[in-house]
Amino acid sequence: MNHKVALITGAGKGIGKAIALAFAQAGYQVAVNYNGSKERAMEVVETIRSYGVCAQAFQADVSQEDDVKAMVDAVVETFGRIDVLVNNSGITKDGLMLRMSSEDFHKVIAVNLEGTFHCLRHVSRIMMKQRSGSIINMASVVGLIGNAGQANYAASKAGVIGLTKSAARELALRHIRVNAIAPGFIETDMTAKLAEKDQQKMMEQIPLRSFGKPEDVASVCVALASDAFGYVTGQVIHVDGGMVM
Ligand code: NAP
């Protein structure tokens, strides 16, 4: 059992939930962030506590800097430190670019990119004092190759990759590693919205011929945060069944 602390954003469901449970299984104490899914976040906390590991839920809308600051203060007050931050929260508001409203463009940037920036900034202050830490930002293969109907989402995830590399350069001397994960198609509520024919098209582009599970992303997160990856920073790790190579 290690007594390190992991803060996972958007950990009430989907990939974030799997990440929170995987860090708990690795012995980390877990701060479970949620925005709207309070009940689900409390269930995740209860599951983690059933492993004999400390966990607590913290509400914050990551697009609101004041919320993030209050959450980070509360996590440090509760656990005393933060060793791992996973910026997992994300939304989609898909539509063809010519029909996409500025509001839908900005909302996705506000949560996916600005939210990552707010958490990164406030948590890195804590990690700088500790002179150690690992930050993992959830990007997407769409941030690397684009996708028709996802101009806002692709821009936000490409931005997350640039942010990751810049932060990795700024924080390296304080022994803080910053990496990104680029999942392909992972089975969650986010991808369940896609039409059957679009899912079929997607499957044809995956050399491993299966969709990913949230646990596939979670296990890579835990490995990336571990000392085994202590010489890895500023990288984008693809978890996509070979979709982008
Ligand atoms: P999901 O099931 O829709 O979950 C999204 C999570 O983000 C929820 O926990 C939600 O929390 C949280 N969230 C949304 N807005 C938030 C806000 N303003 N503040 C704080 N949290 C917020 O999606 P998912 O598939 O697990 O996706 C997780 C991450 O992986 C996202 O960044 C997504 O872009 C990325 N990703 C997913 C796939 C995929 O195929 N599924 C592929 C590539 C990348 P509440 O429910 O509490 O509001």
Task: Indicate whether 244 belongs to any domain.
Answer: no
Task: Indicate whether 40 belongs to any domain.
Answer: yes
Q: Mean pLDDT, the chain, as a whole number?
A: 97
Ligand 1 centre distance from Cα of residue 71 (Å): 18
Task: Indicate whether 184 belongs to any domain.
Answer: yes
> What pLDDT is recorded for position 3?
86
Ligand 1 centre distance from Cα of residue 173 (Å): 31
Question: Would the pTM of this model clear 0.85, i.e. be above it?
Answer: yes
Task: Indicate whether 22 belongs to any domain.
Answer: yes
Task: Indicate whether 134 belongs to any domain.
Answer: yes
- What span, in angstroms and rounded, lies between the C-alpha atoms of 60 and 113? 15
Q: Is 231 a catalytic residue?
A: no
Calculate what percentage of the chain has a pLDDT beyond 70. 99
Task: Indicate whether 245 belongs to any domain.
Answer: no
Ligand 1 centre distance from Cα of residue 192 (Å): 13
* Residue with tokens 């810049």, as numbered in its chain: 166
Task: Indicate whether 230 belongs to any domain.
Answer: yes
pLDDT in tens, 137-170: 999 999 999 999 999 999 999 999 999 999 999 9
* Residue with tokens 């949230």, as numbered in its chain: 214
Task: Indicate whether 97 belongs to any domain.
Answer: yes
Structural domain of residue 37, as residue ranges? 5-237
Give yes or no for residue 22 CB within 6 A of ligand 1: no
CB atoms within 10 A of CB 52: 9
51 residue type, one letter: Y
Q: What CATH number does the domain containing 30 carry?
A: 3.40.50.720
The closest-lying atom of ligand 1 relative to the alpha carbon of residue 112 is: 32
136 alpha-carbon distance from chain centroid: 7
Given a cut of 80, whether residue 1 has pLDDT beyond it is no
As for how many domains the chain has, the answer is 1
pLDDT in tens, 213-237: 999 999 999 999 999 999 999 999 9
178 alpha-carbon distance from chain centroid: 12
131 dihedral zone (left: phi>0; alpha: psi -120 to 50; beta)? left
> What pLDDT is recorded for position 2?
61
